[in-house]
Chains A and B, each alone.
Chain A
């Protein structure tokens, strides 16, 4: 059997991902996580001195903490299998990537294992976040200087 012929067969046999089901699951789980985030942020606004503008930071830190607990108990991967992007896209997914790598590499010690592998999965997000922030700021600065836009 030729390669092309096999690839054709493979295409026919391999099931397509259930797009609609996956999208629905991602929507509801992702939305639910954000609604919990909203509740946490309200908690900080009402009981502490945070405004809507400043409550974002403690909110994110808190949901990352929840994510650590769920990751450590092995529950986050089950949520992940069910929800896909619904649990990967919220910052809890970022937390899960960092915490799971940290737990995984504990056996190689705190410095070489945890320290060296903490951003094994999440590093690309930090990289592209910081680099794109730099370029966006640079481009906007140039555009402001030549008078195309204002701050």
Chain B
């Protein structure tokens, strides 16, 4: 079921902090800070990850001139076991907090929860977002960083970035969230951890279809439908599924994917970017800024997440995926 927000909570600001390699991102000009040390001068990757989250939150707050004492809730997550970086960042930020895990779809699921809390009147300001740190995620899900395994063309590169959005009550001059769809967990039998785009595309397809149907909309009602981290191949698959369902080719240009575009056409990154920080970084910098500048009036953000663990694929399980969507409008 689609959620309609009567009060239309607003995305007041976004804070995005990224790592050194993300300097090469086509979106890097929109980020608040690109750090040149991948560990933020901390001892471990995980500590750097935590620091990155804190900084992203601080950027978001600073833009609206609010203090951490003014924030009612913090909603967020990452991909590390038990989400310690986010949990530890919450400890230092001292904001009431619920950790959320929707893998790379956390960037949107956190915003949905924050909007519900705002709608309920429970929150004046809340922070919502997600993050990922390349080294910390790769070592957990795949191989040690320095291991020389050949990645196939279908592989994606986990970005180092944290994106957090400050969400508050509706204000005309800010992009506002009108509706949201919480996705099902979809499994089309894909089992290759180096081909996440193929696993996630059906989830994105179902969420988009269901959102459009229940909102009685067509793709062309939007200026942009931006998926999270399907990558170049995943985006191709999503478009293929939409075409099968009768979507016209000219409408497909409205569909873009943050992961596919993130590192440009650099072949070193194979199919593109992935990770919870990928969608969060693009949604909460580029999209918010473009909407405020008036480039887009109505945008559907669809963050996709692959719900696997290293254990599950070693046990031969297929990869269930989810996708959550928010519809953002700007007057």
Which residues of A pack against B, CB within 8 Å? Answer: 1, 3, 5-7, 9-10, 13-15, 17, 22, 71-72, 74, 76-85, 87-88, 93, 96-97, 99-101, 103-105, 107, 120-121
Q: What residues on A are CB-neighbors of B143 within 8 Å?
A: 100, 121
**7 closest cross-chain pairs (CB), A and B:** A80-B148, A104-B144, A100-B146, A84-B150, A100-B144, A100-B147, A107-B44
* Interface residue stretch chosen among B9-17, B160-168, B239-247: B239-247
Q: State the interface size on chain B (CB cutoff 8 A).
A: 31
Contact in complex: A81, B151 (CB < 8 Å) = yes
- Known contacts A9-B240, A14-B233, A74 near B43 by CB under 8 Å: no
Contact in complex: A1, B146 (CB < 8 Å) = no
| Closest A residue to B135 using CB positions | A104
Complexed CA–CA distance, A121 and B310 (Å): 13
Q: What residues on B are CB-neighbors of A9 within 8 Å?
A: 237, 240-241, 244
Q: What residues on A are CB-neighbors of B91 within 8 Å?
A: none
Identify which of A7, A13, A76, A83 gathers the most chain B CB atoms within 10 Å of its CB. Answer: A13
Q: What residues on B are CB-neighbors of A71 within 8 Å?
A: 146, 148
Q: What residues on A are CB-neighbors of B195 within 8 Å?
A: 14
Contact in complex: B146, A14 (CB < 8 Å) = no
Query: Which positions 174-233 of chain B face chain A at CB distance < 8 Å?
Result: 188-190, 195, 198, 202, 205, 233
Residues of A contacting B: mostly = helix
Q: What residues on A are CB-neighbors of B244 within 8 Å?
A: 1, 5, 9
| Closest A residue to B206 using CB positions | A1
Contact of A107 among B45, B149, B240 (CB under 8 A): B45
| Closest B residue to A80 using CB positions | B148
| Closest A residue to B152 using CB positions | A17
Complexed CA–CA distance, A99 and B154 (Å): 27
Contact of A103 among B144, B152, B240 (CB under 8 A): B144
